[in-house]
Amino acid sequence: MTDTLILAAVAYDAKVVTIWDGFQKWFAARGLAFDYVLYSNYERQVEQHFDGAFHVAWNSPLAWLQTDRIAKARGRTARAVAMRDTDMDLSSVLVVRADSKAQTVADLRGTTLGVGAMDSPQATMIPLEHLAQQGLLADRDFRVRRFDVLVGKHGDHIGGERDAAKALMTGEVDAACMIDSNHLLFTQEGTLPRAQTRVLSQTGLFDHCNVSVLDGAPESLVARFCDLLLSMRYDDPVARPLLDLEGLKQWRPGRTNGYATLARSCDRFRWIDRFVQSMQP
């Protein structure tokens, strides 16, 4: 393990194997021994990170917060060392049907809001915090209908968002939450027919996934891994298919200032308290 950089990722889709197999070959061609392990859910991945099962984790934003808070409780340090350009400065939207009487978020009082999986930052946690900041609390001012698809994968699988969008069109919910890019995708694919929905409100900007590292990881291996990631270029015909599979055009250095809204949501609704407490020494 000391000569090979090992990454952990959650298998939210079959393509994850194809993605990391491709990266494994790409790294090997540049002199870095690289391997990966896959987990079925982020909580197990976070647990295993603290057990030393791998060096770096491809974490959801929620898994990053879990890792960071557990590390602080244990007197350790977690760092976000890399992220995709497509993980930066995102937003979620609250969508209603075009003929809805709702004109502002205040009009959602007494209605039913469709959200994604219970652990989806973009389709549940951040939108509910967005509403709370405007004085509307879930289960007090409006009903919440969750579409819990693949809980444990933190919304990486967009099935919950798509199901919420479908429920909006059938009238099962009065509004639906989704990341802005999925609103566009659902419109393009016909899940949300064109001109039949509108955005009622949009959250502030936030960041999504990052590559997380704990103190004690082999510094030279992690540094070489990060250098290679950041060196990938979209105009490179060898790298481009891998970047397309992973949904980015350029890797960027990691940052953590884009998780503040999610952190406030976790504090308000106590999303991760039990898990973090269970991991304290």
**pLDDT of 106-119, one tens digit each?**
999 999 999 999 99
Domain termination residue (choose one: 147, 174, 202) = 202
Residues 73 and 129 in one domain: no
Residues 11 and 50 in one domain: yes
Domain termination residue (choose one: 202, 230, 246) = 202
Residues 98 and 75 in one domain: no
- Rounded to an integer, what distance in angstroms lies between the CA atom of residue 61 and that of residue 10? 13
Residues 146 and 220 in one domain: no
- CATH classification of the domain holding 144: 3.40.190.10
Kindly report, residue by residue over 181-207, the tens digit of the pLDDT: 999 999 999 999 999 999 999 999 999
Residues 123 and 194 in one domain: yes
157: confidence class by pLDDT, cuts 50, 70, 90 = confident
Domain span at 20: 5-87+207-278
CA 119 to chain CA centroid, Å, is 9
Residues 69 and 107 in one domain: no
Least confident of 13-17, 37-41, 174-178, 267-271: 13-17
Find the mean pLDDT for residues 68-95. 98
Q: What is the pLDDT of residue 2?
A: 67
- Whether residue 1 is predicted with pLDDT greater than 70 in this model: the reply is no
Residues 39 and 54 in one domain: yes
Q: What is the pLDDT of residue 199?
A: 98
Find the mean pLDDT for residues 254-276. 97
Find the mean pLDDT for residues 123-127. 98
Residues 189 and 220 in one domain: no
Token pair for 216: 């004690």
Residue 161 exposure: Cα atoms within 13 Å on the Cβ side: 28
Residues 176 and 83 in one domain: no
Residues 46 and 73 in one domain: yes
Task: Output the average pLDDT for the chain.
Answer: 96
Going from the C-alpha of 230 to that of each of 55, 64, 170, 225, the distances in angstroms are 18, 20, 45, 9
| Count of Cβ atoms closer than 10 Å to residue 208 Cβ | 24
Sheet hosting strand 78-84, strand order edge to edge: 34-39, 5-10, 56-59, 210-214, 78-84, 251-253
Residues 9 and 98 in one domain: no
Q: What is the DSSP letter of 106?
A: G
At 191, the amino acid letter reads T
pTM: 0.95
- Whether residue 98 is predicted with pLDDT greater than 80 in this model: the reply is yes
Residues 116 and 184 in one domain: yes
Which has more confidence, 66 or 156?
A: 66
Looking at the 3D structure of the chain, how many domains does it have?
2
Domain termination residue (choose one: 156, 187, 202) = 202
143-148 contacts, C-beta under 8 A, 24 or more apart: 143/111, 143/112, 143/113, 144/112, 144/113, 144/115, 145/112, 145/113, 145/114, 145/115, 145/172, 145/173, 146/115, 146/116, 146/117, 146/118, 147/114, 147/115, 147/116, 147/117, 148/117, 148/118
